[in-house]
Structure 1
């Protein structure tokens, strides 16, 4: 237990002034399949079957086998899971905020699942459309999330997009999106970095050379993103939390995963594992529901007020050790209890 407790910790550098997580009035999300809670599903529903993408055994339009980290973070914030924006455009009243994230989104206008689906610029545009439709200013007391970039670099079967071999364009596109959100009046913004893409089952399947290149590209992206966010926190008046997902999942074994190189669900071979809670990856690129839960725990912990010195004009620098440990241990206890029952 001591080993797990120590290994579960990692250091997260935050340029965000301490905020009381329970005080957020809503959750608004821009991103890709890691945060999509039903937009692609609603956009691709077959009227004859009522099923959209991704289909079962994926969970209720999520690109995983259970609730996504956005669902779980919303619950921890005492909010409803944010309403997919497609439902809002169709007349639904937003509950808990609005989720604009679309599976397959790149930082460009391209989408790797379907060319008719949204990329980052269209999501930002949809955000502005919802604001204009409701004729209300942006909720400055809400929490906003912007997380994407993986689809810019990973190998894809899309005929409309060629993956980038450097991070320059991706970082510029993300920078433009952050500036746009700030111009709308966004105040509190979470921007996670990327896990090592070469360590995903898809990355590993490409061979050692490509896997290593993807990991190098990931580190380049994360370093550039950190620099951009540090500058924005000083110049745009934003409370920015750059969530270090890369460090969180750098040692999967310490988080209780026994398989972190293979997918639980292999859509090519049509095989499904019997113990998904022990897999880091649900499919070739997407984390399992267990991993999503760990990420939500870490994000929520990072949002809690910290007892650190603050400067009136500078951002607090938070070094959070053992981030998400409590949530990890809680999930491990639950997993052990289930295994005993079985």
Structure 2
């Protein structure tokens, strides 16, 4: 379902297998990863702020070492953990606000992400989490610490060669367009333009701080998230009493992703000449898993593993809920977030050595 416009940006999202031998060695010039965004990359920052949008409780984290609920919104690893492994840096990318983060952790990268965050201040206010501006301020604090540890010259080298990952935007569409049905800025398209302007401002702030290698994820097929499927199935619509994807929401995601790729192209051609910004397509692998689950060894791609799998996520997915016998057979862990298996497939099929070579060369 990829758009024709997207194909013109193929050099930003070429596909290769993650199983290519010695891939970690190939990319070991990358000293660190710094991640910004929402629950897809929050390794536990929300544990340390005043918000109910938390998952520092079982069954979250049940498939991590020692079954520790670190604050990751899934049963195990996040995409940034797999990315860190892929680059040969470390097995898990920690949360910056974790008091156990060491100097060495900081030198090799941390996540500033916050579950529930978005590009719209209204989204962030609703969840009472960290917006991108606050995440950037935390990055500045981290940079000060790095300079104290290794000095200015080495710190500048780390930042210039580090990998910056951004994953954000889903909550804005989910909360402010689909759940409230009171679309800001008049239409979904106009709202997307507003969101992308805010994202552009963030790109420019990162660039001003020295970032030169940035990967940004597009939107998933939001219409296939179990919570959306459930809402459609119980409301008067063409999908009433059916557990199927909302096609219009998916079209909205495709339109956003095309606009995002155009924004990247324009920035590289105009103001950010010496930067490398890559679009990471998560839409295609997630939709493929939804439509062809057995192809990936999955048995369920419409409900989450936690509870009924239809509405539970965050604090509502807890130890009182029944859990599916084998999360590796499920695409979704809860009603919003993929399982560790889902994230693994997403990285394996969507993040390739060609894209990483472009960013790390």
Q: What TM-score does the superposition give when structure 2 sets the normalisation length?
A: 0.71
Matched, 1:250 2:247: no
| Inter-partner Cα distance in structure 2 for 1:67 and 1:24 | 21
Which piece of structure 1 moves more, 283-292 or 53-62? 53-62
Cα gap change, 1:262/1:28 in structure 2, threshold over 3 Å: closer, same or farther? same
Tell me how far 1:257 sits from its aligned partner.
2.3
The structure that is helix-richer by fraction is 2
Equivalent residue, structure 1, for 2:221: 196
Matched, 1:301 2:301: no
Cα pair 1:21 1:300 within 8 Å, conserved = no
Matched, 1:227 2:262: yes
| Inter-partner Cα distance in structure 2 for 1:153 and 1:209 | 21
- Mapping of residues 1-342 of structure 1, within 5 Å: 13-15=10-12, 20-43=26-49, 53-59=55-61, 60-80=70-90, 81-87=92-98, 92-95=102-105, 96-110=108-122, 115-135=127-147, 136=152, 137=156, 139-155=159-175, 164=184, 165=188, 166-207=191-232, 211-235=246-270, 236=272, 237-252=274-289, 253=292, 254-266=295-307, 267=312, 270-297=321-348, 298-305=350-357
RMSD across aligned positions (CA): 3.3
Q: Deviations over 1:24-54 (max 9, x none)?
A: 11111011000111111243699xxxxx634
Tell me how far 1:110 sits from its aligned partner.
4.7
The residue matched to 1:101 in structure 2 has which SS?
coil
The residue matched to 1:179 in structure 2 has which SS?
helix
Which piece of structure 1 moves more, 117-126 or 65-74? 117-126
| Inter-partner Cα distance in structure 2 for 1:133 and 1:163 | 41
Cα pair 2:117 2:171 within 8 Å, conserved = yes
| Inter-partner Cα distance in structure 2 for 1:99 and 1:120 | 12
The residue matched to 1:191 in structure 2 has which SS?
strand
Q: What TM-score does the superposition give when structure 1 sets the normalisation length?
A: 0.74
Cα pair 2:124 2:131 within 8 Å, conserved = no
Cα gap change, 1:14/1:54 in structure 2, threshold over 3 Å: closer, same or farther? farther
Cα gap change, 1:273/1:113 in structure 2, threshold over 3 Å: closer, same or farther? farther
Q: Deviations over 1:183-235 (max 9, x none)?
A: 11111111111111011101111215693332232122111101001112223
| Inter-partner Cα distance in structure 1 for 2:337 and 2:226 | 9
Unaligned runs of 5+ in 2: 1-6, 15-22, 62-69, 240-245
| Runs of 4+ residues deviating >4 angstroms | 110-115
| Inter-partner Cα distance in structure 1 for 2:85 and 2:101 | 24
Cα gap change, 1:113/1:276 in structure 2, threshold over 3 Å: closer, same or farther? farther
Cα pair 2:36 2:166 within 8 Å, conserved = yes
Q: Deviations over 1:103-129 (max 9, x none)?
A: 110113355596542012221222223
Unaligned runs of 5+ in 1: 1-10, 47-51, 307-314, 316-342
Cα gap change, 1:141/1:227 in structure 2, threshold over 3 Å: closer, same or farther? same
Cα pair 2:51 2:127 within 8 Å, conserved = no
Equivalent residue, structure 1, for 2:18: none
- Number of aligned residue pairs: give it: 289
| Inter-partner Cα distance in structure 2 for 1:189 and 1:271 | 39
Q: Deviations over 1:235-286 (max 9, x none)?
A: 3021122111111222112333221111111336933211211111111110
| Inter-partner Cα distance in structure 2 for 1:241 and 1:78 | 20
Cα gap change, 1:291/1:170 in structure 2, threshold over 3 Å: closer, same or farther? same
